[in-house]
Amino acid sequence: MEQMRNEGSVSRRAVLGSSVAAALGATLGISSWTGRFPSVAAQTNISPADALKRLMDGNARYAAGKLSSFQEDLQLLKQKTVEKQEPFAAVLSCADSRVPVEIVFDQTIGHVFVTRVAGNVVTPEIIGSLEYGVAVLGTAVLVVLGHGSCGAVSAAIAAKDVPGQISALYRHIRPAVDQAGSDLDAAIRANARIHARLLQEASPVIASAVKQKRLKVVAAYYDLATGVVTLLG
């Protein structure tokens, strides 16, 4: 029964993803998404493997306290960054204030296309945003970044009544809790893996880019104490 519910959830997300893709295609003047991406000026020219290496090299600098990105920021601000952006990577991160994505990967302005939501979960709005990063901006790697002591995952494990709409996040995180149980760290890692997979299942744009080897989608875990990002298999 649980498997049927999970399969139904994936199917609904696939439909939502297709709807988002169709709407995005109409907005961009593309009649159908067949794996061909629009030709636009603001696309990077970097392989998925090189894009991921660039992020992880930046995280190594950050963890070692040898940041270089801030030296570039003022120079970039003086240039014409208003007219275009050419991020080589996209990151779906938690909204947690302890996870400053650009700093964690030691990347400067315009290098990383970041979407943030509590629990780093996939929603139609998140899918649409990341599809834009992939199809229009040409990002070559997409990282779903979980992190230690995630409050959203912890709340989903406890499943207590909370004010407002906070509990709306629970259903997105519940599959990870079902898989990992009450082990918070294991649930955080499972959640990142699950949503990295869902992005590829629910979005024809992302799935097509992966199939054509234009894009690499990975799950990762950020350790708050050490600053180190670990890729999750």
Res 233: pLDDT: 83
Residue 100 lies in a domain: yes
Residue 52 lies in a domain: yes
Whether residue 180 has pLDDT greater than 90:
yes
Contact between residue 184 and residue 132 where contact means Cβ atoms under 8 Å apart: no
Contact between residue 122 and residue 199 where contact means Cβ atoms under 8 Å apart: yes
CA distances from 217 to 39, 65, 128, 169, 178 (A): 22, 27, 16, 22, 23
Res 9: pLDDT: 44
Res 43: pLDDT: 59
The CATH number covering residue 117 comes to 3.40.1050.10
Residue 215 lies in a domain: yes
Compute the distance between CA of residue 233 and CA of residue 224 in angstroms, rounded to an integer: 20
Considering the chain, what percentage of its residues have pLDDT values greater than 90? 69
- What's the pTM value of the predicted model, to 2 decimals? 0.79
Contact between residue 193 and residue 173 where contact means Cβ atoms under 8 Å apart: no
Res 27: pLDDT: 36
Residue range of the domain that includes 172: 2-32+42-232
Residue 80 lies in a domain: yes
Residue 37 lies in a domain: no
Query: Average pLDDT over the chain, rounded to whole?
Result: 84
Q: pLDDT tens across 155-177, in order?
A: 999 999 889 999 999 999 999 99
Q: How many domains does the chain have?
A: 1
Res 83: pLDDT: 75
The pLDDT confidence band at residue 81, using thresholds 50, 70 and 90, is low
Res 197: pLDDT: 98
Residue 89 lies in a domain: yes
Mean pLDDT, residues 113-126: 98
Q: pLDDT tens across 10-24, in order?
A: 444 444 444 444 443
Sign of CA dihedral 158, 93, 118, 20: negative
